[in-house]
Structure formats: C-alpha cells, structure tokens
Amino acid sequence: MIKSLCSSHQFLLFSRNVSSFVLPQSHLKLKKICSEYSESSLRPIAAILDKNQLFPSEQIKELGALGFMGILVEKKYGGFDGDTLALSVAVEEIARYCGGTSSIVSIHNALYADTINRLGTIEQKNNFLSDFVNGNKIGCFALSEQDSGSDAANLKTTAKKCGNEWILNGTKAWVTNGIEGEAFIVIARSNESGGHNGISAFLVPSKIAGLSRGKKEDKLGIRASSTCNIILDNVRIPNENLLGNEGEGFKIAMSAIDLARIGIASQAIGISEAALECAIKYAGQRIAFGNPIINLTPVQIRLAKMVTKIEASRLLTWKAAKLRDSGQTFIQDAAMAKLVSSETATFVTHNCIQILGGMGYIKDLPAERYYRDARITEIYAGPTDIQFLVIADNLAKKYGFKIR
C-alpha cells in the first residue's frame, strides 16, 4: 500500500489547519490513512494502554497490515518501499493519538527494520525481516548499557569468535520493545584493542539459549511501549548472524541513530499537535470573566508560541527526511530536528497544562499524559545535550575545523 502512495510526484498543499507545507499527494494520502486509523483505533484506548502499560498487540498487527511496520523495507521482503518522509508523516500521525504506540512503530522501523533492509544479506532478510514487517513480530535494537548510553563506544558487551560461531556476553539496557521483541540487533565489542573499529553488530533471535530479559521498567510515559534489559549469557550465534562486516558495528549503530532522531522528532511533533488541539478546544469552551479564555491575551500568547514552535519543528524534521531521501548528508539536520522538536514537545505540553489549569493536572483529560509522553523525546537517541555536540561538531567540520 505505501509503495503506491509514495510513488507520485504531484504536490498539493498540506491541509491541516495548523500546518502549511508542500507535500507529495502520495504522502497526503498516507497521512489520511494513518490518521483515520489512529483516530478510530488508538484514540479510544490510548489512556488504557498508558494506565495499564499494555502493549497494543492487535493494533500493531493492524498497522502492519496497512504497511506501517515496514515503511522503508523493500517490497520483496514484505515491505512497501516507502521513504523517510513517509516514516516521519506516519509516526507524527500515530503520536497524535498514542505516544506509546508511535514509539513502537518508530523504533521498529528506524532502528531495526531499516538497518537490516540496508545491510543484511538475503538470508538475514529472509530470517529477520520478512516476518517482522507485517506486525506479527517486533524487532529491537540493543546498543545502550548501564554505563555506556551516550558514550556508546565504551560498551562492555563482548562477542568472541569461536570457530563458526560468536559467543555474546553482557547486558543491554533500555531496550525499547524488549519484552515483546522476537529478535535483536545487538552491538558488541568483537575486538578489545580496536576502539571504535572493534565493535560489531549481530542479529540475535529472542528464543535462544542464554538470552533472558530483565524486569519491565515502570516508566513515566510512553507506557504502551515496553522497556527492559537484555541479558546475554554465553549466547551462541552462527557467523552468518554478523550484520555487515566485522568492526563496522559502531558505524552501523550511529547511522541507525541518525534515522531514529528523525522518527523521534516526528513523535514529538505529533504529541505537540495533540496538546495544542487539547488546549485550543478547552480555551474556546472555558468561560472566565464572562468570556471564553481564548479571548485572554496571555492565553493567546501561549497558543501563538505553541503553534509557531510546532511549525518550525515540522519544517526542520521534514527537511532532514528529504535530505536523507535524496542521499545527502543529514546528520546535523536530524540532530537539529530532534533538538528543536523535543524541546517543543516539552514546551507545548507544559503550556497545554497551564491553559487547562487544574483540569490539566488530572487524568480526566489527556493533557497530563501528553506531558509525560513528551519528556522521553529529549532523552532517547541521544539527550538534548548530545544533540548540541553533534550539531556543533558538524558545523565546525563544514568550516574546516575539528572539535577535540
């Protein structure tokens, strides 16, 4: 479905009342399908998923059937040959209705499915991709460790070659979708003296001797998406499960993270959009001093700042997506998109609660959930502080300088 939607080169004005950007007609159709599905199937259950930390299994299968679990994957492996802009549009629309579900879709597509689609062998794609794009199975990306989050090159998980096998040992932390995941891309140190070049990537099925899961983390937000540790205790995998070439693991991980930042920026925009809508509707109906509070100047200023930041965030994000789709360098742009969009999500959801007052602080309305869901967007795939460093480093390189 998505391939046919993404093939058109006709352009129309993006129609949402708070957005003005030229999108391909194909992507407008994709947005409409995703929005209609999310409004009818995710909006009614989003609060329940959040409260009870429930993984939306049936909804993920339905999203898979629609093509949203393999957006960037080749059609011959069950995907739909979509592009990065399509992923951004889809994640934003899903996030408007359920932040947790958008996280599941974004991470599965950006970190797992796309990485294997780009780098995997035919055998690897058949074993670790074909059954993962229809929504029946979820894939995960295991990079972070307790003492090596942003300092990813300092990871301690090891992979030792033994004949035609690799033996993996270590613990991976903060693995998104880890409880439900049926396969993992594991980044491990394969050469102790190789530095960045001593790290490799491996494909590890969940049902294998020596692999276990830690407790399900009880999180502030995106609670429909599970997070846990993955423990590897003498896990043996065949050499055929090495993803890419030996020593390329760090490069593979960073490339995947760059794409993930576009997905997270899109998630942040979707959450912001939902919070803005909530705030406007409430402000138009809440009577104070004899009039709806939307007539109050302080409320108008808040709303104006909210929508302006959302617009700027979306344009940065779509620019990064289009750069990637055209084969151009997009690292700095992805970092800027994530930086601005995630800070926007925190700002917009905060101001949504301020406009709602006491009603924003209780669970009768979704404002407090938006606020909690927004907070993670400034943390995962590199916290805000790391985005500053990435942007500054790439900026310096453009002018011929090197930051040490």
Rounded CA-CA distance 246/318 in Å is: 33
Rounded CA-CA distance 352/277 in Å is: 9
What backbone phi and psi angles, to 5 degrees, belong to 140? -130, 165
CA neighbor of 302 nearest in space, from 278, 285, 336, 318? 278
On the CB side of 33, how many CA atoms lie within 13 Å of its CA? 20
Parse the chain into domains and list their residue ranges: 2-132, 139-246, 251-398
**360 SS3 class:** helix
Angle between helices 297-325 and 249-285 (to 10 degrees): 150
Rounded CA-CA distance 172/103 in Å is: 19
Tell me how far CA of residue 81 lies from CA of 6, 55, 74, 117, 190, in angstroms: 8, 27, 5, 10, 33
Q: Is the pLDDT of residue 14 over 70?
A: no
Percent of the chain residues topping a pLDDT of 90:
90
Rounded CA-CA distance 71/3 in Å is: 8
Question: Residue 10: what pLDDT?
Answer: 33
Residue 21's pLDDT band (cuts 50, 70, 90): low
Question: Residue 149: what pLDDT?
Answer: 82
- Gyration radius from the chain CA atoms: 21
Q: Is the pLDDT of residue 354 over 90?
A: yes
Pairing between strand 242-243 and 287-288? unpaired
Q: Is the pLDDT of residue 142 over 60?
A: yes
Residue 15's pLDDT band (cuts 50, 70, 90): very low
Residue 96's pLDDT band (cuts 50, 70, 90): very high
Q: Which two tokens stand for residue 170?
A: 């270590």
Q: Which CATH architecture has domain 251-398?
A: Up-down Bundle (1.20)
Of 12-16, 330-334, 356-360, the poorest mean pLDDT is in: 12-16
Q: Are the CB atoms for 351 and 310 separated by under 8 Å?
A: no
Rounded CA-CA distance 255/334 in Å is: 11
- 40 strand-pairing partners: none
What backbone phi and psi angles, to 5 degrees, belong to 203? -100, 120
Q: What pTM does this model have?
A: 0.94
Rounded CA-CA distance 263/88 in Å is: 6
Tell me how far CA of residue 309 lies from CA of 26, 163, 218, 341, 394, in angstroms: 26, 55, 30, 8, 24
Rounded CA-CA distance 144/153 in Å is: 10
Percent of the chain residues topping a pLDDT of 70:
95
Instruction: Please tell me which residue, 18 or 6, carries the higher pLDDT value.
Output: 6
What backbone phi and psi angles, to 5 degrees, belong to 397? -60, -35
Among the CATH numbers 1.10.287.3510, 1.10.540.10, 3.40.50.970, 1.20.1640.10, which is that of 2-132? 1.10.540.10
Residue 11's pLDDT band (cuts 50, 70, 90): very low
C-alpha 173: how far from chain center = 17
Average pLDDT, the chain: 94
Is 139-246 assigned to CATH 2.40.110.10? yes
Strand (E) or helix (H) holding 265: helix 249-285
Tens digit of each residue's pLDDT (9 = 90 or more) over 199-229: 999 999 999 999 999 999 999 999 999 999 9
Tens digit of each residue's pLDDT (9 = 90 or more) over 151-163: 888 999 999 999 9
Q: Is the pLDDT of residue 278 over 70?
A: yes
